A and B are shown apart, each in its own frame.
Chain A
Amino acid sequence: MQLKLEPRGFQSKFWSYASPVLAIALTIATMAVIFLVLGKDPVISLYTFLIEPLVAENGATELLVKASPLILMGVGISLAYRANVWDIGAEGEFTIGALFGGGIGLAFPDLPFSLLFPLMLIAGMIGGMLWAMLVALLRTQFNANEILTSLMLTYIAQLILIYMVTGPWRDPQGFGFPQTAMFSANATNPTIIEGTRLHLGIFFALAAAAAGWLLLTRSLLGFQLRVQGFAPRAARFAGFKETRLVWTALALTGGLAGIAGTLEVSGPIGQLTPQISPGYGYTAIIVAFLGRLHPIGVVFAALLLGLSYLGGEAAQIELALPSAVTGIFQGVLLFYLLGCDTLILYRLRLRSSRPAALRA
C-alpha cells in the first residue's frame, strides 16, 4: 500500500478554505508538543499563548494594533505574489517609509495636524514605493532576481535607519540613546479609543483590504495581475506588459508598507528608534499565504498572526519562555499550510503497489 497524490484536474474550492483551518489545528497541536518538550504544561501554555492575550485588558485593541501593519503589508504582498513578483523586502519598505514619514514629522513639528499628518503619510508611501521600485528597476532593466535584491535592500534599509537615529537625527536631549526626539502632538498618529493604543492604522488597513479586493476582483489591473501569475504566456499573448505589471505590483507593495511604517512610528512607538518592527514585513508574507493571497482573507490571517506576537509576549512574561516561540509558531504554521495546500490540486489516494506493477 502506498500513499499517492492524484491530480484533481481542478482547484478544490473546499480545500482552499479548509487547508488553512487544518494547518492551524496541526500547528496548535505541534505547539503543544513543543511546549511539552520545553518542560511546560501544554494546556496552560496554549492558553497563555492563544487565549489569554484576547481576554486580557485591552486585548482586542492590542490585537488590532498588531494586525494593522500586517494587513497593510499583507494586502500588497498578496497582489504582488499573484503576479509572481516575489518581493520579500516589505520589512525594508516599511523601514524606509517610516524614515520618510517620520522625517517629515520631525522636520515640521509645528504644522497643523490636518496638514502635517497627511503629508507624513504621503511621504511614507513615497519612501516605501521608492525602495520597492528600486527592486522593480533591478528586475525589469537588469533581470536581477527580486527575491535576493529585495532582501539585500532590507538589510541596507535597517542600516540606514540605525545611521539616522544614531547620527543626524539623534535626539540631543536623549541621554545618548540611539533614538530621535518624540514626535510632536501634531505629528502623532492619534488613538481612536481613549486609554488604549488603537490608532488610525486599523482604518487604513481595512480600507486597503477593501481597495485591494476591488482591485483584484473588479478591475482590469487585477485581472492582468492574476493572469500574469497564473499563465504568463497567456498574459503575453493578450498583450499585457509584464514590465508594467512588475512596476505596479512593487509600487503597491512598497507604498502600503511605507504607510504602515509611518503609522507605526508615529503611533505606538512615538519616535524613530533602531527597533521599529518585530519582523512585521516577514510575518506579512505568512499573512498573505494564510489569507489565500486574497485581501479579505489577509484580514483574518493578520488577526491570527497578530495574536502570535501577543502570545509570544505573554509566554515570555508568564512562562519565562523566549519570545522566539512566536517565530516558531509562524514558521510551523507556514509549513503546515504549504503542505495542506497540496490538497487543493491533488487528492490523496491509497494505492496498492500491485496494479501499478501490472500496468507497467
Chain B
Amino acid sequence: MDFHYTSFLLSVVVASTPLLLAAAGELVAERAGVLNLGVEGMMLVSAVIAFAVAVTTGSSTLGILAGVSAGVLTSLIFAVLTLSFLSNQVATGLALTIFGTGLSALIGKAYVGMVVKRLPQIHVPGLSDIPFFGPVFFGQDVLVYLSFALVCAIYWFLFKTHAGLVLRAVGDSHDAAHAIGFPVIKIRYLAVMFGGGMAGLAGAYMAIAYNTSWSEGMTAGRGWIALALVVFATWRPFWLVVGAYLFGSIMYLSLYIQGFGVHIPSQFISALPYASTVVVLVAISRDRKRIRLNAPASLGKTFHAAG
C-alpha cells in the first residue's frame, strides 16, 4: 500500500469535520454557562434521522436539514429540564445520551443495511484539478467548508458583537447578567439549541458523509471527544480547529495503520483516540490557572432568578 498524501489528507478532513462541528456547538453552549453532556446522544439521534430522511427522499440536503432539526429538538428536552425545571446539568446531559442511544437504536432498526448516496464533493473546474492542492482545498463536501465558516462566525459573534459579549457575560456570571437585565434563561435556551443544531450537523455528517450507512452507536464516543475538545481549546473557537484536526488525524491513522498490516493488535490502535483524549485533557487541565481563567465561571451552575 502506498502512502497517498492527498487521499490521506482528504480522509483526515472527513474524520475531523464531525468533531469540529459538534465541539463548536458545545463551545457556544458552554460559553453561555451550560454544560450539555448529551452531545453523543444528540449526534446519534440526528445521525439516524438524517440517514432515514436522506434514504427515503434521496436528498442529502433534506437529510442534513432533518438532522439539524433533530439535534435542536433533542437539545430542547435538555434545555427545558435544566433551564426551566432547574435540574442538574450533568445528570440531565447523561440522561440525554442514554435516551438518545436508545431512541436512535429503535428508529435505526429499520434502516440497518441500507446505503445512501454520499454527500457530493464539490468540483470547481480548474481549481479542483490542481494536483494535491486542488482536491484538498477545492474538492471537499459543502459541510467541510461550512464547518470552517461556522467556526469563524462563532468567533466573530462571541468576541466582536454585543450579543456575543452578553452571551459570555451570562456564562461568566449569570447573577450579574441578570441584575443588569439580560434575559439569562432565554439566552441559554438559544445557546443550547445552537449546540443541538451543531451536534445535529455533526450527526448528519457521520451518517451521510463519513459513513453512508447507519449502524447502532456509530458515533463511537465522538460526542464525548467533542466535549473534551472544548476543554482542549480552553473555550476558544480557533483552537477547536487544531484539536479537531489533531483527533481526526489520530482517528484516521488508527484506521490506516490497521489497513497497513502492522503487527499491533487492532484493539490497541482503536484505543488510541480515547487514550489521546485522556492525555490531552491531562496536559491542558494540569494548568489550573489557565483553566480557571478561560472557563466560563458559571459553567454547569443552575440559575434561578430570585423574586
Min Cβ gap B296→A in Å is 14
**Number of residues from B at the complex interface, CB < 8 A:** 44
B88 x A338 contact (CB < 8 A): yes
Interface band, chain A:
35 or more
Asked if B103 lies at the interface with its beta carbon under 8 angstroms from chain A, I say yes
B85 cross-chain contacts in A, Cβ below 8 A: 5, 338-339, 342
B274 x A155 contact (CB < 8 A): yes
A151 to B222, CA, bound (A): 12
B98 x A142 contact (CB < 8 A): no
B105 x A5 contact (CB < 8 A): no
A331 cross-chain contacts in B, Cβ below 8 A: 95-96, 98-103
A334 x B86 contact (CB < 8 A): no
B221 cross-chain contacts in A, Cβ below 8 A: 151-152, 155
**Nearest opposing residue in chain A for B227, CB measure:** A148
Asked if B124 lies at the interface with its beta carbon under 8 angstroms from chain A, I say no
B271 x A156 contact (CB < 8 A): yes
B99 x A138 contact (CB < 8 A): no
B103 cross-chain contacts in A, Cβ below 8 A: 324, 327-328, 331
Take A149-B281, A156-B271, A339-B81 as given contacts and tell me if A325 and B224 are in contact as well, using a CB distance cutoff of 8 Å.
Answer: no
Q: Could you say which of A88, A159, A160, A162 has the most chain B C-beta atoms within 10 Å of its C-beta?
A: A159
A142 x B286 contact (CB < 8 A): yes
Which of B94, B106, B231, B304 touches A145 (beta carbons < 8 Å)? Answer: B231
Asked if A177 lies at the interface with its beta carbon under 8 angstroms from chain B, I say no
Against A, the Cβ 8 Å flags (1 = close, 0 = not) of B82-115 are 0001111011101110111111011001000000
B291 cross-chain contacts in A, Cβ below 8 A: 143
| Chain A residues in the interface with B (C-beta under 8 A) | 5, 7, 86, 88, 138, 141-145, 147-149, 151-153, 155-156, 159-160, 162-163, 166-167, 282, 285-286, 289, 322, 324-332, 334-335, 338-339, 341-342, 345-346
- Listed by A's residue number, 25 A-B pairs whose Cβ atoms lie within 8 Å are A88-B94, A142-B285, A142-B286, A143-B291, A144-B282, A145-B281, A147-B37, A149-B281, A153-B278, A159-B274, A163-B265, A324-B105, A325-B106, A327-B103, A331-B95, A331-B98, A331-B102, A334-B91, A338-B81, A338-B88, A338-B92, A339-B85, A339-B87, A342-B85, A346-B304
User: Which 5 pairs show the lowest CB-CB distances between chains A and B?
Assistant: A327-B102, A331-B99, A324-B105, A334-B95, A338-B87
